[in-house]
Amino acid sequence: MIKTPLCELLGIEYPIFQGGMAWVADASLASAVSNGGGLGLIAAMNANADWLRKEIQKAKTLTDKPFGVNIMLMSPYAEEVAQLVIDEGVQVVTTGAGNPSQYMSRWLDAGIKVIPVVPSTGIAKRVARSGAVAVIAEGSESGGHVGELTTMALLPQVCDAVDIPVIAAGGIADGRGIAAALMLGAVGVQLGTRFLVAQECSIHQNYKDKILHARDIDTMTTGKRLGHPVRALKTNFSRELSKMEYDSTISNEEIEAFGAGALRLAAVDGDEKNGCFMAGQIAAIVNKEQPAAEIIKEMFSQAEAVLGGAGKWIR
């Protein structure tokens, strides 16, 4: 059995989170991951409190295990969803795309465990100071919005920078990745791409098929010019977006407009032409649609074997 302080901290069996992916991480996926012994997350994304309340209440009927909500701080509804998680008694909140400090004291007073995603040691230190119980160090191998540093480089530096538990994200999709993350100092992992193909994940089958068939070189980042790069599968959409970025006659607003709504088209409609299929670099090793619980179990038994065998290099 792999047990880390994260299991005790959150009351979970396996030290694994399912990433709070917009248009993907709903009550169905989150509850399946929680039932499988990990921590499922519902993505608040750009949705309002009504939508999120329904998902939270649905998840409560599907699992009696802890689950969390990921709050995208740039969302126009950030304020109302920040209050909703308090009203609904959500136990864990992860945050992305911004600085959670303005909500921090309210969440802490409500007994919520706040775990921000951090792209640098500076931000890790700041959120630790303001009361985060752990941080998620997410490297640029991840799908979706990414920072500059890779998991391999970021993770040990964040572990050195803070005294709270660190969860590794970006580039992990099997037991080897989990073992490596633990060796770099993490006490848990967060996976997105692998859970895209969980049976309980409600995204369009086209999206799942693209992940299942992706190769190592099939992702690219776009949006660097806008200051928020996004990693997604190479499709006509992302190639076109990339071309627009290099064209100085096209304004940033036009590029923003071109990209707006593209993730929804991918996840909900499976639109292969105009959709933005966000995925991590590790998508290539994701080859099987399975129940979330099976994914978790399989990865941790592999991680255990890898860690158990690591002594072979020591003479």
Partner 1 sequence: MIFEKTAKILADYRDMDIAEITMETKFEDIGLDSLDMVDVVMMLEEEFDVEIEIQERIKTVSDLVSLIESLKK
Residues that bind partner 1 (CB under 8 A): 99, 101-102, 119-120, 122-123, 125-126, 147-148, 227
Taking CA atoms, 10 is separated from 14, 208, 229, 233, in Å, by: 10, 30, 31, 33
Q: Is 307 exposed, middle or buried (0-12, 13-18, 19+ CB in 10 A)?
A: middle
Q: Which two tokens stand for residue 116?
A: 């921000």
Helix (H, G, I), strand (E, B) or coil at 58: helix
Report in angstroms how near the CB of residue 204 gets to partner 1 at its nearest: 33
Report in angstroms how near the CB of residue 309 gets to partner 1 at its nearest: 38
Report in angstroms how near the CB of residue 135 gets to partner 1 at its nearest: 13
Q: CB-wise, 227 or 311, nearer to partner 1?
A: 227
Report in angstroms how near the CB of residue 136 gets to partner 1 at its nearest: 16
Helix, strand, coil share (%) of the chain residues, nearest 5: 45, 15, 35
Helix (H) or strand (E) holding 127, with range, is: helix 121-129
Report the half-sphere exposure of 276 (CA within 13 A, side-chain side).
Answer: 28
Report in angstroms how near the CB of residue 129 gets to partner 1 at its nearest: 8
Q: CB-wise, 52 or 161, nearer to partner 1?
A: 161
Q: CB-wise, 129 or 215, nearer to partner 1?
A: 129
Q: CB-wise, 120 or 202, nearer to partner 1?
A: 120
Cα(184)–Cα(288) distance, integer angstroms: 27
Cα(226)–Cα(173) distance, integer angstroms: 29
Q: CB-wise, 8 or 256, nearer to partner 1?
A: 256
